[in-house]
Amino acid sequence: MGDLEEFVKCLLQLNKQLVGIFKTGNAALLKDMNRTIQKMCDIQRKSSEFLLGQVADECKIIGENFNHIVIVMQTNEGETMEESTQKAVNHFLHIINDASVMIAKKFQLV
C-alpha cells in the first residue's frame, strides 16, 4: 500500500475515532487516536507524494491540538473529567475534526 493510501486509511480511522469520542465522551479512546495521529503525521512527513505535501499544515494542526489535549488531561484531577477539562478537550477535538475535514476536501473525499 502506498503512502497516500495508508494516509487516507488513517484519516478514515481518525474520523471514526472522533465520532466515537463525540458520541460517548470516552477519554480512553484518545490512546487509539494518538497512535493514529502519530502514524498519519509520520507518513505525511516522510512521504514524497505531492498530495501529502499539500496537507502539511493540517497535519501540524492535528498534531499540535492533540498535544494540547494531552496537556489538558494531565492537569485534570481525579478519574473523571472535570467540566473545564471536558470543554477544553472538546474544543481541541473540534479543531482536529475541522483539520481532518480540510484534508478530506483537498483529497476530494467529501
For 102, phi and psi rounded to 5 degrees?
-60, -40
pLDDT digits (tens, 9 = 90+) for 68-110: 999 998 887 777 778 888 899 999 999 999 999 999 999 998 8
- Residue 19: which CATH number? 1.20.120
Three cell numbers, residue 10 = 488513517
Rounded Cα gap, residues 61 and 84, in angstroms: 22
Rounded Cα gap, residues 106 and 108, in angstroms: 5
Instruction: Note the pLDDT of residue 4.
Output: 95
Instruction: Note the pLDDT of residue 74.
Output: 85
Rounded Cα gap, residues 97 and 92, in angstroms: 9
Instruction: Note the pLDDT of residue 85.
Output: 87
Residue 79 or 15, more confident: 15
pLDDT digits (tens, 9 = 90+) for 23-74: 887 878 889 999 999 999 999 999 999 999 999 999 999 999 999 999 998 8
Residue 25 or 14, more confident: 14
DSSP summary character for residue 16: H
How many domains does one find in the chain? 1
Helix, strand or coil, per DSSP, at residue 78: coil
Q: What is the domain extent for residue 66?
A: 3-106
For 79, phi and psi rounded to 5 degrees?
-85, -25
Three cell numbers, residue 4 = 497516500
